[in-house]
Structure 1
Amino acid sequence: MRDESLADLLGGRRGAVDATVPPLAFVAGWLATGQSLWGGVVAALVAGAAVAVWRMSRGARPGAAFVGLLAVCVAALIAVRTGRAADFFLLQLVSNAASALVWALSIALRWPLLGVIVGVVLRQRTRWRRDPDLLRAYGRASWIWVLQYAIRLAVFLPLYAADQVAALGVARAALTWPLIAACLAVSWWVIRRSLPPDHPGLRHPVTPAPSDEISEARQNTKI
């Protein structure tokens, strides 16, 4: 199988800067100003704006570049409204919990999100889903992504409950690009192990002939 790896297809590093720089800036500003919430918020917003400008200078679309900045603004607003610095990371906690649930649900519904994402990137629409081997492989590999979000929650929740602001910032950075890189590598390994040796790869879904689809549908109906 000669396909690119998932890291090649999905570009796992693209969101790493957006996800790590503003939280680290928040913690740095919070500490530098004597644990002032506003010191952290201002530092995070400046860092988020700088990252957005940097991404646009590298050819990113304005909408995509400002998504990260919007997330920083929402996180900052939550912290300001509650007056608790640890709440800057509340949006991250909620998004990880929601992501784990959505990915698990997509597997249960036989629409694994990893397949959906790769299918969009490769402009396959839903052809990948008509390949039983690819559908099974994407389903198995998607569980790795569920595990990724679960790991983050297992680390973030105790720190959030203990109001460990600095540790939350460090954990956010440590569990962004390194964890995504590991997730991409392991899920790619799972896909390769799940596909038959003679499968042509992700770019070439093997769809059954119409007669095979009818036979399969009849068998499913009997079952």
Structure 2
Amino acid sequence: MRDESLADLLGGRRGAVDATLPPLAFAVGWLVAGHSLWGGVIGALAVGLAVAGWRLARGDRPRAVLVGLLAVCVAALIALRTGRAADFFLLQLVTNAASALAWTVSIVLRWPLLGVVVGTVLRQRTRWRRDPDLLRAYGRASWIWVLQYAVRLAVFLPLYAADQVMALGAARAVLTWPLVAACLAVSWWVIRRSLPPDHPGLRHPVTTPAEPALSTAD
């Protein structure tokens, strides 16, 4: 099997690094400005705009850049609306809970989202689902992603309930790009362990032929 990791295919660690900067800027701005909500919001938006400009300059897709910037703006609006600094991280809590649920449901329905994502990147449509070994491997590896979201929720929820803004900013940094990198590595290891040694790899699904239709004469 070709030695090509999920990190090579998905490039998730780079985007995750960028995603940690605005929340950190919010926490630092909030602290430096004397626990001022506007200090945190201005810091987050300034860093978010800088990150967006840098990503556009290096040729990243404008849609992905705008989605990242929009997430920062929505988080800032939520905090300004409620007047509670910890609510800047509420969007992160909601998206992690929704993601954990979506990945779990996808595994149960035998449409594991890891397979959907990788299959889309490789332009395979649904061919990967007709490979029983690959379908099983994606299903097992997708549980690692469910665990990733569950770990975040287990850490974020108590900090959010206790209104620990600086701890939320630090946890967001620690549990974003390092956790994504670990998740990519472990889920790739699970895939490799799940596939038979002679499997040609993610790029070459071994599709099973369709069963012949039964004759009406039988």
Instruction: Report the TM-score when normalising by structure 2.
Output: 0.95
1: CA distance, partners of 2:56 / 2:22:
17
Determine the structure 2 residue equivalent to 1:153. 153
The alignment partner of 1:201 has SS state of: coil
* Superposition deviation, residue 67 in structure 1: 1.1
How many residues get paired?
A: 214
1: CA distance, partners of 2:198 / 2:148:
30
- After TM superposition, the structure 1 = structure 2 runs for residues 81-160 of structure 1, keeping only pairs within 5 Å, are 81-160=81-160
Determine the structure 1 residue equivalent to 2:17. 17
Determine the structure 2 residue equivalent to 1:38. 38
Once the two structures are superposed, what CA deviation does each residue of 1:49-69 show, in whole Å capped at 9, x if it has no partner? 110000000001222211111
Is 2:19–2:68's contact at 8 Å kept on the other side of the alignment? yes
Determine the structure 2 residue equivalent to 1:56. 56
2:37 corresponds to 1:28? no
Is 1:49–1:69's contact at 8 Å kept on the other side of the alignment? yes
* Superposition deviation, residue 214 in structure 1: 4.3
Determine the structure 2 residue equivalent to 1:220. none
Is 2:20–2:176's contact at 8 Å kept on the other side of the alignment? yes
2: CA distance, partners of 1:82 / 1:69:
20
2: CA distance, partners of 1:61 / 1:36:
34
2: CA distance, partners of 1:209 / 1:63:
38
* Superposition deviation, residue 17 in structure 1: 3.2
2:208 corresponds to 1:205? no
Determine the structure 2 residue equivalent to 1:166. 166
Is 1:131–1:207's contact at 8 Å kept on the other side of the alignment? yes
Structure 2 spans left out of the alignment, 5+ residues: none
The alignment partner of 2:150 has SS state of: helix
The alignment partner of 1:115 has SS state of: helix
1:181–1:57 Cα change, 3 Å: same
Instruction: Report the TM-score when normalising by structure 1.
Output: 0.93
Percent identity, aligned pairs only? Answer: 83
Determine the structure 2 residue equivalent to 1:79. 79
Determine the structure 2 residue equivalent to 1:221. none
1: CA distance, partners of 2:38 / 2:209:
62
In the alignment, residue 171 of structure 1 is paired with which amino acid? A
2: CA distance, partners of 1:186 / 1:214:
39
